[in-house]
Amino acid sequence: MIADARIIIVILGFVLLASIGYARIVYLHVFDKDFLQDHGDARTIRMEKISAHRGMITDRMGKPLAVSTPVVSLWANPSELMSVPEKLEFLAMMLEVDFDEFKSKLERNASKNFVYLRRKMSPQKAQLILDLDIKGVYDEREYKRFYPAGEVAAHVVGFTNNSSHIGQEGIELSYDSWLEGQAGKKKVMKNRYGEVIRDVMPLREAQPGHNLQLTIDLRLQYLAYRELKNAINYYQASAGSVVILDVTNGAILSLVNQPSYNPNNRKTLDLKSLRNRTVTDVFEPGSTVKPFTVAVALESGEYTAESTIDTGPGFVKIGTKTIPDPRNFGVLTLGEIIAKSSQVGTTKLALSLNEYDVWNAFSSVGFGKAAGIGFPGEREGYMPNKRRWADIERATFSYGYGFQVTPLQLAAAYQVIASNGVKHSLSLVEGSEMTSETVFSAETSIALKKMLEGVVEGGTGSKAAIAGYSVAGKTGTVRKVAGGEYQDTKHLAFFAGMTPVYKPRLVAVVMIDNPKGDKYGGGAIAAPLFSKIMSEALRLLNVPPDNMDEAA
């Protein structure tokens, strides 16, 4: 009896324990399911970012200037990776890093569960390492920004930072919100080693950024960059810029500068080379604005193209100041004043005009105002706005001193002449709205073009001539200012012009900063550079010759 009772007690005990266990299982699966699921997910379910594709930047022909290419970043769990020390040296070799530094990096981050081994590797190279199946090594799929034109288009396109692809310079910065994509998010299941076992569900799809097409013509960009770089090296100049505009629609076809930089490799980047000098650097335009003073005279109705000014005896005194010409040119027509770049003739002309009319004309062509292309760091330049003007101020203002412009502003002003007196808004992005306003009459502009053609045919800009094409333009040479004083040995040389003259397609400004040697004038070094660039640009754009007699 006692034995039977013991057996019954044991059986009842097992039944009770089984019942308790079953009840616990039922409780956990029914009443505590959400709690357990949440804790289980917290250990295995993770949120992963889905990288978004940044929009592509292209030139006007669709050639890529900035693209995002798929890359792989390798990372590691340091404690896991250090558990296989025999693999470390070989892994460092595959990663192309110093072994001692690599090992030290892992040791410094031993308490963490994440450290990058190598960022933004090519998928093929990263896969070679992943195929080694080294414990603690994982991958992350990303995109890398690449700039096919390199330093040639760097000042226009700019660049993004390496980590989060946020625009830092140029178009990448000014159109960052348009170009950037919106990263997605998904739930994934990972094992205890941090490896993704499977995707659980997408929470937000990645939204790619928008593409952006510029007005830049990459062919002309390469051309202008090559010739500018050669000229800077030849004349041992400090810097230089070239701007090319399409007269027909205000499109900016080329903006190049020297020195430049490689946006694909910024390890040794010199911050001074980041400036897009065509829109950020200002200078006194000198003789290149004399045609606009003449334009005011023609618009006044008191002068015609045949009107003359006596520049004898080769200088003019204003108070205690003497303004000279290189020699006594005698009696000059308005066109000859421009062709010979007579300071005396321009001064006498300006003093006969209303100074506010001259100021308004300079302002109307765009001096003292940003071009409005939305480029970061664009300068407005400087225009004095005086209630009263001294005669010496009126004189120097009329031939380009006492105010400052950018190369882009100077090009925009010459486009007004090329467009028969109509000022078109400039554009750097295709599809931008174009606005227009009349600044000078067509008759005045045509007369100016004829005068500027004389500068090239027999004046200071003869080296700007192009075989088979008519060219109109103006040279300029100014002394640089340092310490509040003009320097006798440091100059800016430039040439602003258009071609063909009577149906202009292109306007360009060439500027060379501080050339060394005996030649430093705009006619000597900027004009021939204009000729080289424009002759090839006209051919690339299939612009028919208009001056076959000259070509012969």
Q: Distances from the Cα of 194 to the Cαs of 109, 140, 174, in angstroms? A: 17, 12, 39
Tokens representing residue 95 in the block: 């990663």
Q: Is 64 helix (H, G, I), strand (E, B) or coil?
A: strand
- Block residue for tokens 């266990």: 21
Residues 215/218/223/229 CA torsion (nearest 10 deg): 90
User: 448 Cβ partners below 8 Å, 6+ apart?
Assistant: 291, 294, 295, 298, 417, 440
Contact present, 520 and 477 (Cβ < 8 Å): yes
CB neighbour class for 125 (10 Å; exposed up to 12, middle 13-18, buried from 19): middle
> Which helix (H) or strand (E) covers residue 529, if one does?
helix 527-540
Q: Is 423 helix (H, G, I), strand (E, B) or coil?
A: strand
Contact present, 348 and 370 (Cβ < 8 Å): no
User: 357 Cβ partners below 8 Å, 6+ apart?
Assistant: 296, 299, 300
Q: Distances from the Cα of 75 to the Cαs of 79, 296, 497, in angstroms? A: 12, 68, 56
- Helical segments of 31-130, H only: 33-44, 78-81, 88-95, 99-108, 123-130
Catalytic residue selected from 260, 287, 427, 445 = 287
Alpha-carbon distance of 126 to 119, in angstroms, equals 10
Amino acid at residue number 5: A
User: Catalytic residue at 241?
Assistant: no
* Residue 222 CA, distance from chain mean position: 14
Q: Distances from the Cα of 334 to the Cαs of 212, 341, 354, 493, 509, in angstroms? A: 46, 10, 17, 23, 23
Contact present, 535 and 506 (Cβ < 8 Å): no
Q: What is the 3-state secondary structure (H, E, C) of 314-346?
A: CEEEECCEEEECCCCCCEEEHHHHHHCCCHHHH
- Is cis: bond before 544, omega within 30 of 0? no
In this structure, the strands spanning 212-213 and 57-58 are parallel
Q: Catalytic residues, which ones? A: 287
